[in-house]
Structure 1
């Protein structure tokens, strides 16, 4: 193991350098001499003991040091996941949570969160088909973020019906996509359905991306490097929004190359003016390869959202869509904040 002296002084956990009550650093990092070296060092009772100029003593557990090396971080996984196609998910027979147990039992909530983080989707069955119950089941997991436009946390219950209305014309097929990346987690349910069609489509974007990485590493790499703009424009009597986002289609952690976010929305992708001319054709080729993988029938999981079934979707990982339908489909849903979902999971000692 190799450690930088400034890093060691900066990470001292002595009472004068670190506040264990708040789990925050007390030491002013900017005050550390960048040429600092300890006057002495020794191994004692499983600890590295350093004495610094001026007499300050730092003690580090050897286990803590081994866990926090760059090499350990590089080889480790930030968030364990099970990548899936339809067959893998169905054979896993992942159970849905029961509404009453989910709302009353922390052990059930913990199991739900574990499944949610592993697979990127999770279900709760038996939920009363009301806005209030959907709000309650969502708040059991996380704070609900205000919807775009700031008019309350849950989507107003809206009707999708044929023939299409001016306020909601989308009764045709919606191909799989992620929402704007500022939306990390989604929750929605059907509170009323009449007529055929309207099944929800789910695709594990990470499964498709990792397949692309194996088959065409250059295309995978290009999709992690070229920033692409997206925008959501809404101009109605009650909402006026123009929300933009920027980033590559695939996002990986720089230290271990682990995939953590996919942006894939052909509806909201804006003008591609962030790639030089000699890259544009290669980007379209890479994007086409990823699209082909996402559209493989074996990667598509179809779910019928009948009243009482609530689905939670990791919007940074799982793409969603919907088949066309005839009749009426009444949907209620909301957005959840990523930080709060993960904080909830860490409170149950889950690895996130």
Structure 2
């Protein structure tokens, strides 16, 4: 362990000198690093840490540092759970000494407990650094800028690679563009299930796990089972947490029509915010009701059209479905006109041809969409059309993505 030529004494506010030989060794280590030297400095109620590979220094509360000790007594590495009781931590806690090492920072607390913090751990897990290092992975698109096929497509063979490269590409495509295709999948429901289960568990809803939808077969009382045109919408807006991923596999195309419509909700939200910032704020704060009813089923929820990440403020969810709107009991009389004005403005942007991308799904190609971002619809059609599909839950999908090494906000 390499120590800086001094230590801070929180109790006496003095510097404790270290041996000249140690000072010399630290000097040699610091001079070998690119840019400025690594340092950790006491600045009152927090520690300021700097590293040559960081774009700026970060300040970290001593309360945070004591709570995040990763020694075997404070953290159970077998279960990845904390063991330290924060009620035993005084609110004005300060370390008795601070030591910089080549790997990180070592703090000794007044009770003699020693905590070590790796630089990488500090940069990846503190507020200031996360705000700086995070770059949104999402790339909004319109009909004219729809991503190239190669960027958003993996084959069944790719999905079966042991190095998981195909799976990582699929996750990356969904995070960046909101969708991905898997090609060369046998056109049947069980083959579709098999490839989807390579991603994560399939979510069971009142539709079941895997479903197979045939035109005019009203197994459920939903417009999707008809041959009618369906405008752009997101699914399961009536769930408190809408399904995250929507999966479609067209096993038998219609003889005429039935093309699928895709709209990027995040791109629409950006356009809406630029044109009607008051409306954007209104639909980000005013909850509206959605519901689904059939025999033995009644789902209902209240939520906003637009939701944001609680820390970064970036848009995180777009919930829009004109078909599943419940009676508007959540908007007071004085806000009714404002609601319809803004909601209609948003609807017009969604329906503008420049935001639409139409495609014909073919047997053998599975489409996965981020239902928290993309809206989808369908043209009217004639003849028999068979569509297989399922949903994936947010919890399972994001867990699998993190395990694959994908950065999520």
TM-score (norm. length: structure 2): 0.77
In 1, the alpha carbon distance for the partners of 2:185 and 2:152 equals 15
Tell me if the contact between 2:233 and 2:377 (Cα under 8 Å) persists in the aligned partners.
yes
Listed as ranges, the gaps of 5+ residues in structure 2 are 1-57
| Structure 1 position 122, deviation (Å) | 0.8
Aligned residue number for residue 303 of structure 2:
247
Seen in structure 2, the aligned counterparts of structure 1 residues 165 and 137 have a Cα distance that, compared at 3 Å, is closer
SS at match of 2:168: helix
Q: Does 1:13 align with 2:70?
A: yes
Q: How many residues align?
A: 344
Aligned residue number for residue 96 of structure 2:
39
In 1, the alpha carbon distance for the partners of 2:397 and 2:98 equals 42
Work out which of the two has the higher radius of gyration on C-alpha atoms and give 1 or 2: 2
Equivalent of 1:202, from 262, 265, 274?
262
Equivalent of 1:85, from 131, 142, 150?
142
Write the mapping of 1:270-285 to structure 2, written as runs, cut at 5 A: 270-285=326-341
Aligned residue number for residue 280 of structure 2:
220
Equivalent of 1:55, from 82, 107, 112?
112
In 2, the alpha carbon distance for the partners of 1:76 and 1:220 equals 27
Q: Does 1:140 align with 2:140?
A: no
Which of 1 and 2 has higher RCO (CA within 8 Å, sep 6+)? Answer: 1
Seen in structure 2, the aligned counterparts of structure 1 residues 166 and 182 have a Cα distance that, compared at 3 Å, is closer
Write the mapping of 1:282-321 to structure 2, written as runs, cut at 5 A: 282-321=338-377
Deviation track 1:81-139 (CA, whole Å, cap 9, x = no partner) reads: 11111211155753522223323452222222211221111111221111111111111
Q: CA RMSD in A?
A: 2.4
Write the mapping of 1:222-241 to structure 2, written as runs, cut at 5 A: 222-235=282-295, 240-241=296-297
Deviation track 1:6-38 (CA, whole Å, cap 9, x = no partner) reads: 222111112211123332211123332333333
Listed as ranges, the gaps of 5+ residues in structure 1 are none
In 1, the alpha carbon distance for the partners of 2:97 and 2:189 equals 65
Tell me if the contact between 1:75 and 1:256 (Cα under 8 Å) persists in the aligned partners.
no
Equivalent of 2:84, from 16, 20, 27?
27
| Structure 1 position 45, deviation (Å) | 3.6
In 2, the alpha carbon distance for the partners of 1:310 and 1:66 equals 39
Q: Which stretch of structure 1 is more off in the superposition, 165-174 or 308-317?
A: 165-174
In 1, the alpha carbon distance for the partners of 2:335 and 2:98 equals 53
Aligned residue number for residue 48 of structure 2:
none
Equivalent of 1:112, from 170, 178, 201?
170
In 2, the alpha carbon distance for the partners of 1:115 and 1:188 equals 16
In 1, the alpha carbon distance for the partners of 2:336 and 2:377 equals 27
Seen in structure 2, the aligned counterparts of structure 1 residues 111 and 195 have a Cα distance that, compared at 3 Å, is same
In 2, the alpha carbon distance for the partners of 1:279 and 1:61 equals 52
Seen in structure 2, the aligned counterparts of structure 1 residues 282 and 41 have a Cα distance that, compared at 3 Å, is farther
| Structure 1 position 161, deviation (Å) | 4.4
Aligned residue number for residue 158 of structure 1:
213
Aligned residue number for residue 260 of structure 1:
316
